[in-house]
Amino acid sequence: MSVFSVAFAFAIAALMSGRLDSTFARFSRPWTLAAWVFLTLGIVLGSAWAYYELGWGGWWFWDPVENASFMPWLVGTALMHSLAVTEQRASFKAWTLLLSICAFSLCLLGTFLVRSGVLVSVHAFASDPSRGMFILAFMVLVIGGSLLLFATRGHKVRSRVNNALWSRESLLLANNVLLIAAMLVVLLGNIAAAGA
């Protein structure tokens, strides 16, 4: 499904155990980096293929299925930054867990969008929306369960670090908030496209 599933599994394990230390970040970082690199290569190669081979005249068309790969890429970028801070400074713990959950959840959402037929796209691989019911049920179970677990146990791993306003950590947090805001704009655009 996605290499982000490894970071997701580590996040769920940390929530269930109620502890998160630098070991979590050290083990999650290579997997997150691998997922991000493969996703970046897929986006770049897909864009080049569309431009040069298919002659579509552009690199990106904001097609809902193209956006389905872009959203986890944005969250994965934020996750890599958060993992670095969690590993080195023992900060951003809850934020890192939430980003791990979001990255994998967006991969599930992308699978649903591509395979369910709910969106009209040149990239969609299904024409019958009923085929996506299993994916939707799985997605609701995984995302709902993990967010419920985060809501009930996330406070146990929360960082108690206060960073100065212009510290490196505060700037990385601002960067992460911007990346998540960009992802939400793309997500809302996809939802609007599905409703149109």
Model's pTM, two decimal places? 0.87
Residue with tokens 């960009």: 182
**Mean pLDDT for the chain?**
84
Residue 159, pLDDT score: 65
Q: Where are the domains of the chain?
A: 4-195
**Predicted confidence band at 52 (pLDDT cuts at 50, 70, 90)?**
confident
pLDDT digits (tens, 9 = 90+) for 154-173: 888 776 666 666 778 788 88
